[in-house]
Structure 1
Amino acid sequence: MTRRKAPVSDVLLATEGTYPYTLGGVSAWADRLIQGLSDFRFTVYAVVANPGATPRYALPDNVDRLLMVPLWGTDRHEEFSWNPQMSWSLGVRRAFQRDFLPAYEAFLTACLRPAEARLDEALDALRVMAAFAERGNMKYALRHEKTWDILRSRLSEHPLFRHLNLFEAVDIGKLLYRYLAPLAFPVPEARIYHSSAAAFCALPLVIAKERYHRPLLVTEHGVYYRERLLSIGRMERAAPYRYFLSSLYGLVVRLVYQAADSVAPVAKFNALWEQKLGVPPERIHPIPNGVDPRVFHITRNPGSGNQPLRLVMIARIDPLKDIHTAIRAMRALREAYGTRPELVGVTLTIYGPAPDPAYEASCRDLVREYRLENVVRFAGPTDDVNGALNGGDIAVMSSSSEGFPYAAVEAVMAGRPIVATNVGGMSEIVQPPYGILVPPRRPRELADAIARLAANRSQLATLGRLGRERMLAEFTLDRFLERYRAWYHAWASEGEHEHERRDRETV
């Protein structure tokens, strides 16, 4: 019996820790993109933390396949790979000596000494390691005594790493094995390769671009490298480990940017980072997010009724959303403005999942510490975001990092005046008179901005309508889909020409 050949999808979309296994943010973007472009066939290549992840989105009919790539939760990546395993044969041993060891050393050196790294050499090394990973030999290669000799030798030569103990050195070796796991899951042929981030999920697409001569496109939401640096800054790990992580992230990001034919940041702010990281301006084509005005609309005017003002936040309980600053702002609001009639009884309701239990606990502890139990409420995820927004009078966002946040567009489309932190592409959404921006991590300034809007309660409905009109003019779902459809069509045509040219050259 012959195996049926899988279809060649129009687009292979790679995700990392998002669609279809988590809700909101990048996952919502991917879901709207795939469902809205029903004239395109998709393969979804999803990098996840472990193989026990459960999809949170129902895949539409235009998804040909969902390919799961677990980084953790398995002893060998090949257990979950759709690629047949190969044995550690004599030929592989020779290739290990001849090819793998020099490639590993080059890639490791690029991570340890990023200022001296040459991207062409790092890419050559990536190709060699991908060949080993695809054949099921990466674990054997990385556990080999000679590989460890190279790791110890390179670490001992570096002033920051020479005093690492054995456990810390082993940890760095394991880290490379886990983060390079996607190389063991080669992507099938597609007409377009599209990565939702310049991240590890894009590395197999870099290899496939060369193999199949198809274009590689990258979308940037929050700037991946910037957000990884923020995450590293919160780690309670030794400085050498954090330095290695930051260098590894930086190398991967630059490799992906170098290979990308076109990069579509969701915000103009992201483009500045991309240019600093080596993307030529002519390859950058921003495509902002958009929402459906039929889903997000006004059902209750903000400021209406006689109840105390209600602040509403739609956000994951996550460090990047900086819920701590919002809680501290509510304390500052009470202490500085608590006697003002328009702010008596004001509350903040936060809707969203809590993927980080430790951070959620810290938020609840802060609420108790400030005795805000009757002021700040955690409502959990909601299936009715528009209803949650319309239940509030002013939207609040206190993020320390953002791309082009759906939550902000949705809030303004639902007619809510908004106070937000000036991060990422927020300034492209939140503008006067319907919105106020403040610097991140400044709870008192966030409280002052809320008080300014609250002082004009009778004007909130007018401000909300002005905000909605601007969203209708610039950030609708239809405009979002039109831009992606044009982007795909242009690069699919370019890819077909290149593919045909390469085929003629090989005849």
Structure 2
Amino acid sequence: MLKLRLRQIIRKLSPDVLHAQGNKAAALLSGTGRHGNITVGTIHGTKTSHKDFCKLDGVIAVSTGIYQRLSHANTKLIYNGVKPQNDGARTTNAIPDVQAFALAIGRLEPVKQFDNLISAWAALKPPLPLYILGDGSRMDLLKAQVQRLGAETFIKLPGYEDNPAAWLQQASVCVISSEREGFPYALVEALLARCPVLSTPVNGALDLLPAESLADSTSLNALQTLLSVQLAGLGGLKKSQEACFGRASRELTLEAMASRTEAFYYELLGKKSVD
């Protein structure tokens, strides 16, 4: 029924370009048949199969890791971009009034491995507190872990935050502890806010961060080792990522993403007219 309704809408609008965001949308679009327009799909994550994208005219990958796994003839690497939020706008949670703090942002789900981050932070007891912004199914488990480790005074889980940009403007460092990522928006927002990032070796971070800002693996031990070394010199960490901040301002904005996407549309339309 949904595919039938989609076919009717496409026939009525007769668009030049149909663009699917993600696997489910690509599956719908690839099953609607051909309508004389071009079809494009963006792959945001690391699914085991992207077969539905093979039926489209073009595919956009949001990170090098995803791009390198694709065999489609018309594939383009276009990083996620965001519209910078107003860092002076109201926040959902009060920003801590402390000299320095660390920040992690994301859904509180297993793939983000915030349990590893909490364990590492509790073991190291660095001189700056850690705030984990987000909500999800593991909120109660993570709060219980913090309490069990006796870390309530320096590890906080305030909940969902509508304006992370304001927090990132004040944070000393942003930490990504994920097992896997397509291209984390937390990374984009942090670099645009000129907040240095420490990360597990996931897509996006591998594209943009210097090697010394990456853990050797996604394990707890590797993350703890990275934090132990890098948290001892946060001033040097920020200087080492100055080039990353500049690249983010050029390539990770909404305007840059839209411009590259539009250019890819025209490239595909040109190929179709020749065919």
TM-score bracket, normalised by the shorter chain, equals 0.7 to 0.9
Query: Is 1:408–1:429's contact at 8 Å kept on the other side of the alignment?
Result: no
Judged with a 3 Å threshold, the aligned counterparts in structure 2 of structure 1 residues 493 and 312 are, in CA distance, closer, same or farther, namely same
Deviations 1:179-226 (A, max 9, x none): xxx4464342132221112x233233113242x132221101112x24
Q: Give how far 1:432 is off.
A: 4.7
Q: How far apart are the structure 2 equivalents of 1:460 and 1:493? A: 45
Judged with a 3 Å threshold, the aligned counterparts in structure 2 of structure 1 residues 374 and 466 are, in CA distance, closer, same or farther, namely same
Judged with a 3 Å threshold, the aligned counterparts in structure 2 of structure 1 residues 391 and 457 are, in CA distance, closer, same or farther, namely same
Cross-structure match for 1:487: 264
Runs of 5+ consecutive residues of structure 1 not aligned to the other structure: 1-133, 135-181, 227-249, 298-305, 335-342, 502-507
1:378 equivalenced with 2:157 (yes/no)? yes
Query: Is 1:219–1:264's contact at 8 Å kept on the other side of the alignment?
Result: yes
1:259 equivalenced with 2:38 (yes/no)? no
Judged with a 3 Å threshold, the aligned counterparts in structure 2 of structure 1 residues 292 and 186 are, in CA distance, closer, same or farther, namely closer
Q: Give how far 1:405 is off.
A: 1.5
Cross-structure match for 2:230: 453
Judged with a 3 Å threshold, the aligned counterparts in structure 2 of structure 1 residues 185 and 362 are, in CA distance, closer, same or farther, namely farther
Query: Is 1:395–1:416's contact at 8 Å kept on the other side of the alignment?
Result: yes
Q: Secondary structure at the match of 1:488?
A: helix
Deviations 1:5-46 (A, max 9, x none): xxxxxxxxxxxxxxxxxxxxxxxxxxxxxxxxxxxxxxxxxx
Q: How far apart are the structure 2 equivalents of 1:470 and 1:428? A: 11
Q: Give how far 1:270 is off.
A: 0.3
Q: How far apart are the structure 2 equivalents of 1:296 and 1:493? A: 41
Cross-structure match for 1:350: 132
Q: Give how far 1:473 is off.
A: 4.0
Deviations 1:120-155 (A, max 9, x none): xxxxxxxxxxxxxx4xxxxxxxxxxxxxxxxxxxxx
1:321 equivalenced with 2:112 (yes/no)? yes
Q: Secondary structure at the match of 1:331?
A: helix
Judged with a 3 Å threshold, the aligned counterparts in structure 2 of structure 1 residues 448 and 420 are, in CA distance, closer, same or farther, namely same
One-letter identity of the residue aligned with 1:217: V
One-letter identity of the residue aligned with 1:269: G
Deviations 1:464-486 (A, max 9, x none): 54431232243333321210111
Higher relative contact order (CA 8 A, sep 6+): 2
Q: How far apart are the structure 2 equivalents of 1:351 and 1:370? A: 19
1:469 equivalenced with 2:271 (yes/no)? no
Q: Which of 20, 27, 45 is the aligned partner of 1:222? A: 45
Percent of aligned positions that are identical? 22
1:285 equivalenced with 2:87 (yes/no)? no
Judged with a 3 Å threshold, the aligned counterparts in structure 2 of structure 1 residues 330 and 194 are, in CA distance, closer, same or farther, namely same
Q: Secondary structure at the match of 1:205?
A: helix
Judged with a 3 Å threshold, the aligned counterparts in structure 2 of structure 1 residues 470 and 206 are, in CA distance, closer, same or farther, namely closer
One-letter identity of the residue aligned with 1:462: K
Q: How far apart are the structure 1 equivalents of 2:237 and 2:114? A: 24
Query: Is 2:61–2:67's contact at 8 Å kept on the other side of the alignment?
Result: yes
What is the total number of aligned residue pairs between the two structures? 262
Q: Provide the TM-score with structure 2 as the length reference.
A: 0.83
Deviations 1:58-94 (A, max 9, x none): xxxxxxxxxxxxxxxxxxxxxxxxxxxxxxxxxxxxx
One-letter identity of the residue aligned with 1:218: G
Judged with a 3 Å threshold, the aligned counterparts in structure 2 of structure 1 residues 466 and 203 are, in CA distance, closer, same or farther, namely closer
Cross-structure match for 1:421: 200
Runs of 5+ consecutive residues of structure 2 not aligned to the other structure: 89-96
Judged with a 3 Å threshold, the aligned counterparts in structure 2 of structure 1 residues 363 and 315 are, in CA distance, closer, same or farther, namely same
Cross-structure match for 1:39: none
Q: How far apart are the structure 1 equivalents of 2:152 and 2:4? A: 49
1:186 equivalenced with 2:6 (yes/no)? yes
State the superposition RMSD in angstroms.
2.8
Judged with a 3 Å threshold, the aligned counterparts in structure 2 of structure 1 residues 466 and 307 are, in CA distance, closer, same or farther, namely farther
Judged with a 3 Å threshold, the aligned counterparts in structure 2 of structure 1 residues 309 and 273 are, in CA distance, closer, same or farther, namely same
Query: Is 2:208–2:244's contact at 8 Å kept on the other side of the alignment?
Result: no
Query: Is 1:194–1:217's contact at 8 Å kept on the other side of the alignment?
Result: yes
Q: Secondary structure at the match of 1:204?
A: helix
